[in-house]
Amino acid sequence: MKFDNSNRLRERANALIPGGAHTYAKGDDQFPEGMAPYIVRGRGSHVWDVDGNEFIEYGSGLRAVTLGHAFAPVVEAVRRQLEYGTNFIRPAAIELECAELFRELIPSAEMVKFCKNGSDATSGALKLARAYTGRDLVAVCANQPFFSVDDWFIGSSAMPGGIPAATRALTLKFNYNDLASLDALFDQYPGKIAAVILEAEKETPPAPGFFAGLRERCDRHGTVLILDEMITGFRWHKNGAQTLYGIRPDLSTFGKGLGNGFSVSALAGRRDLMRLGGSDHDRERVFLMSTTHGAETHGLAAAMATMRVYQSQPVIETLWQRGRQLAERLRKAAADAGVSEHIPILGQPCCLVFGSRDEKGSPSQPFRTLLLQEIIQRGTLASSLVVNYSHTEDDVDRTVVAFAEAFSIYRRALDQGIEKYLRGRPVKLAIRPYA
């Protein structure tokens, strides 16, 4: 494959856009040197770049496109809505219609408010928790990479530049599946923790009793339990991972798959918490997600069309089935090539990722780069292995062939030295303090 046009765009983009992209995880430093394609269109599970290269794509839109690119029922719903206008001086009727449909699917959604991105929702949840409890501290799961672009979280990340030390000190960390680490925080800061926020699952499944223990501790300490379902919602279960695992959150947040890639997210939860953002109470009001574009009608039309597909088609079942087929066959191909211990396939079938380890078994960015280099050259664009509803069995067949050939080269690099096979600089961590 040739990437001449993409490489020319890269130079222009980096001169005009800080980091060369509007999302760090999409930056050209996340891809092998000279092999960072600029996309011009997508259809289903495939995308095409400015050089005319076609790829089977995984992780569509950082897990946002769960049905597939340009999925016809969603596109048509948006097209119809655009003819009526997108934003008015008063609420549109579709805002209530979308809220009612969302409540049908999400059992904990006594009230819901829509916004444009995940950070709006998680930061709104945190604000409600602090107002409700009168406390300042928040405990976040240290094993999960990202919750918000806002100061309360970025101050605790590997890129805290620009965040005041006083703000950084308000965010504490506990470990997933480790109730003792949370107990230690409650003991150290008695009566001071407003909220505990975490995702239902990443690559490690919840241990038996973990969520029940989490719920009991939050109840005992008067702390709000916030479940971030940006990824697990509309992927683990059509009613959210909270339904799959029997979790009872006080507040939960949704985005990504909610609108099949269109910009729409949601904060939902208990009425007594959510109503603080309204005016039908005698407490101090919370300025809750009052955004100009939070309820743009075309975004809500996309959300409604997406939710109706989930209600009428076997989306969840297909995500799990296709992911399971992919995982099983890739693990076999890795075993055949002798790299099973070096390229683990991780996570639930509906949300797979792969590891990359060197000859000593340590995580390796150079070896990740080598693997990406080889699969991209074979028409597979996969910084993860996250499937969408449009991935077919033929896609899986072709992906396995591409990875199997790459596994063989990976094995040779382990034996003979990666410098013989790696072209260009290694990829870097997306969230890092220095260049």
Residue 111 tokens read as 């009230």
Q: What are the backbone dihedrals phi and psi of residue 17, each rounded to the nearest 5 degrees, phi first? A: -115, 120
Question: Rounded to an integer, what is the distance from CA 52 to the centroid of its chain?
Answer: 28
What percent of the chain lies above the pLDDT cut of 70? Answer: 100
Sequence-distant (≥ 6) Cβ neighbours of residue 291 within 8 angstroms: 115, 116, 120
Q: How far is CA 15 from CA 12, 31, 428, in A?
A: 5, 18, 20
CA 273 – CA 294 distance, rounded (Å): 20
Contacts of 377-382 with C-beta under 8 Å, sequence gap 24+, read: 377/1, 377/35, 378/402, 378/405, 378/406, 379/1, 379/53, 379/54, 379/55, 379/56, 380/55, 380/56, 380/58, 381/37, 381/47, 381/55, 381/56, 381/57, 381/58, 382/56, 382/57, 382/58, 382/59
Predicted local distance difference test score (pLDDT) of residue 226? 98
Q: Can you tell me the distance from the alpha carbon of 13 to that of 133, in angstroms, rounded to the nearest whole number? A: 45
Q: Where are the beta strands (DSSP E) in 279-424?
A: 345-346, 353-354, 380-381
What's the pLDDT at 269? 98
**From CA 235, how far away is CA 228, in angstroms rounded?**
13
Task: Assign residue 52 a region (left: φ > 0; alpha: ψ between -120 and 50; beta: otherwise).
Answer: left
The percent of residues above 90 in pLDDT, for the chain, comes to 99
CATH number (3.90.1150.10, 3.40.1180.10, 1.10.3720.10, 2.60.40.10) of 4-69+314-420 reads 3.90.1150.10
Query: Distance (Å, rounded) from C-alpha 251 to C-alpha 294?
Result: 18
Picking from 51, 23, 47, 46, the residue whose alpha carbon sits closest to that of residue 35 is 51
Domains 4-69+314-420 and 87-295 share a fold: no
Residue 86 confidence (pLDDT): 97
What single DSSP character describes residue 55?
E
Between CA 419 and CA 186 the distance in angstroms is 49
- pLDDT digit string (tens) for 101-140? 999 999 999 999 999 999 999 999 999 999 999 999 999 9
pLDDT of residue 273: 98
Paired residues of 269 in beta bridges: 111, 251
User: Which pLDDT tens digit goes with each residue over 296-341?
Assistant: 999 999 999 999 999 999 999 999 999 999 999 999 999 999 999 9
Domain residues of the chain, as ranges? 4-69+314-420, 87-295
- Residue 300: the pLDDT is 98
Pairing of strands 265-269, 111-115: antiparallel
Average pLDDT rounded to a whole number, residues 43-56:
98
Report how far residue 75's alpha carbon sits from residue 301's, in angstroms, rounded to the nearest whole number.
9
In whole angstroms, what separates CA 201 from the centre of its chain?
11
How far is C-alpha 236 from the chain's CA centre? 12
Tokens of 108: 């904990």
What digits encode the pLDDT tens for the residues 250-306?
999 999 999 999 999 999 999 999 999 999 999 999 999 999 999 999 999 999 999
Half-sphere exposure of 207 (CA within 13 A, CB side): 8
**3-state SS assignment for residue 104:** helix
Q: Mean per-residue pLDDT for 217-222? A: 98
Q: Which CATH class is domain 87-295?
A: alpha beta
Question: Given this model, what pLDDT does residue 4 score?
Answer: 97
Q: What is the token pair recorded at 192? A: 């001071």
Q: What is the value of pTM for the model shown?
A: 0.96
Span 159-202, pLDDT tens digits: 999 999 999 999 999 999 999 999 999 999 999 999 999 999 99
CB 422 within 8 A of CB 412: no
As a three-state string, the secondary structure of 204-272 is CCCCCCHHHHHHHHHHHHCCEEEEECCCCECCCECCCHHHHCCCCCCEEEECHHHHCCCCCEEEEECHH
Q: pLDDT-based confidence at 208, cuts 50/70/90?
A: very high
Instruction: Give the burial string for 239-276 (b: 16+ CB within 10 Å, else e).
Output: bbbbbbbebbbbbbbbbbbbbbbbbbbbbbbbeebbbb
d(CA 136, CA 128): 11
Closest CA to 121 of 20, 255, 282, 1: 255
Q: Please, is 16 exposed, middle or buried when counting C-beta atoms within 10 Å of its C-beta (0-12, 13-18, 19+)?
A: exposed
| Sheet of strand 251-254: strand arrangement | 111-115, 265-269, 251-254, 224-228, 193-199, 137-141, 171-174
